[in-house]
Chains A and B, each alone.
Chain A
């Protein structure tokens, strides 16, 4: 873990930790003593000199505060130290934060039907998961050997109904064009690998 190089972030995170620590450790609302409660807080300064054994209420407070301070400090730590996603469930939550380029490159799967129609293959057929997982998996395809690409193409084609050709495509999409036309068509496309759909 490296110290954060963003002073604003670190300063705000430190202030946040102080606020949270104050919230978690501030004097609690009055509680009627029950079951031997009370504890050192009620016994004045002498308690710090010769501490009395803790009652169950004081012990509960100590346990809770320990857990709270440790958990909150751990969760806030990515603002103070650059941890990335390495320490899940800790994160610095970078979603929607970084600037996007005007052109987005996505790899996707489509089937070219004999009549010329192009059908996109949904993510669940590509990765068994959501869009994010399919996107990540398809990004890896160009880095694989040609034979492995073809084998992957055939694996995907086996799950598609009807006749045609399955293609893994690298598409470049202009965000401005998407906003203008409201259609997700790439302005530039390259077929990475293709194979026949068994039909």
Chain B
């Protein structure tokens, strides 16, 4: 299995795996004891709603360790037929567990969706251990079959990205288009900065926040532009240039959010969530082929 698009899909796999492993190692899966009442803020989401009480910390620690190992295997593309679905299941469970403690940050949603989608795709066909030394558990389709999986797979990953941004846009205009005025964005900006200052006192005021306050026109432009990027996301699937343009635009939006709000969602803020739209394989091979 070879070709520029197989390389792109492999790069998406490596990026997703690396972010997952980094997330797992950076954030504890268990919640260090809230002394008030241990189970007081256990608010299960997703599959965890089947639980009556939190899992034992030792179980969570082992689970986290196993998930990290599977994540490394995923990133290296080793024995994909087994490690991909196993990691997808383990990571879905871990991410669900991490969101059971009250604070719902939406940084894990798209990452988890991409993990689930990639687990169904032959994403270890290039840049992988499997590609170098095909074992019994590798999944390396060839010829026209590989072409179907790779092209369609990249489109699926991009489609999932698009849907999440459209939903975010729809949530903002659910009742009216008042959000586009910029006033609501100013309030959200202020709350994010306030939370950052109160709970991370060493961070200081984000320079972008001061800049935006000094230039209020940025809010008047930024709010409708944000809505246009989110609600117009499906256009990214229509043509490859539209996809590249949209990916650059939404990446810029996340960089702006990081600069003005101190809110960094690593997967989109570092542009990794949008690799399926970009000819990133050029970085390795010096060539580019359209998904379409």
Chain A interface residues (CB < 8 Å from chain B): 6, 8-9, 12-13, 16, 19-20, 23-24, 28-29, 31-35, 37, 56-57, 60-61, 64-65, 67-68, 71-72, 75-76, 78-79, 85-89, 91-97, 99-100, 102, 104, 106, 108, 119-120, 122-123, 126-137, 139-141, 143-144, 148-149, 151-152, 154-156, 171, 173, 175, 178-179, 182, 184
Question: Which listed residue (B113, B117, B141, B174) contacts A6, Cβ 8 A?
Answer: B174
Least Cβ–Cβ distance between A108 and chain B, in angstroms: 5
Interface size on B, residues (CB 8 A): 85
What chain B residues lie within 8 Å of A144 (beta carbons)? Answer: 36-37, 40
Question: Which listed residue (B116, B186, B188, B199) contacts A135, Cβ 8 A?
Answer: B199
Q: Are B143 and A37 in contact (CB under 8 A)?
A: yes
Residues of B79-135 at the interface with A, using a CB-CB cut-off of 8 Å, are 92, 95-96, 99, 101-106, 108-109, 112-113, 116-117, 120
Given contacts A16-B163, A85-B99, A92-B171, contact A24 B46 (CB under 8 A): no
In angstroms, Cα B149 to Cα A106, docked, is: 49
Question: Which listed residue (B40, B45, B117, B153) contacts A88, Cβ 8 A?
Answer: B45
In angstroms, Cα B172 to Cα A94, docked, is: 7
Q: Are A71 and B199 in contact (CB under 8 A)?
A: no
B66 contacts the other chain (CB 8 A) = no
User: Could you list some 17 contacts between A and B, CB below 8 A?
Assistant: A19-B237, A20-B163, A34-B142, A68-B156, A76-B167, A93-B109, A122-B202, A123-B199, A127-B34, A134-B199, A136-B102, A140-B37, A140-B102, A173-B194, A178-B193, A179-B190, A179-B213
Chain A, Cβ-Cβ closest to B183 = A99
Give B163-199 as 1s and 0s: 1 = Cβ < 8 Å from A's Cβ atoms: 1101110111111000100001111101101111111
Q: Are A152 and B173 in contact (CB under 8 A)?
A: no
State the total of A-B contacts with C-beta under 8 angstroms: 266
What chain B residues lie within 8 Å of A184 (beta carbons)? Answer: 193-194, 197-198
Chain A, Cβ-Cβ closest to B179 = A97
> Which of B31, B35, B144, B186 gathers the greatest number of chain A CB atoms within 10 Å?
B144
Q: Are B45 and A179 in contact (CB under 8 A)?
A: no
In angstroms, Cα B151 to Cα A95, docked, is: 32
What chain B residues lie within 8 Å of A139 (beta carbons)? Answer: 102
Given contacts A68-B152, A106-B194, A151-B35, contact A60 B145 (CB under 8 A): yes
Chain A, Cβ-Cβ closest to B192 = A96
What chain A residues lie within 8 Å of B168 (beta carbons)? Answer: 93, 95-97
B240 contacts the other chain (CB 8 A) = no
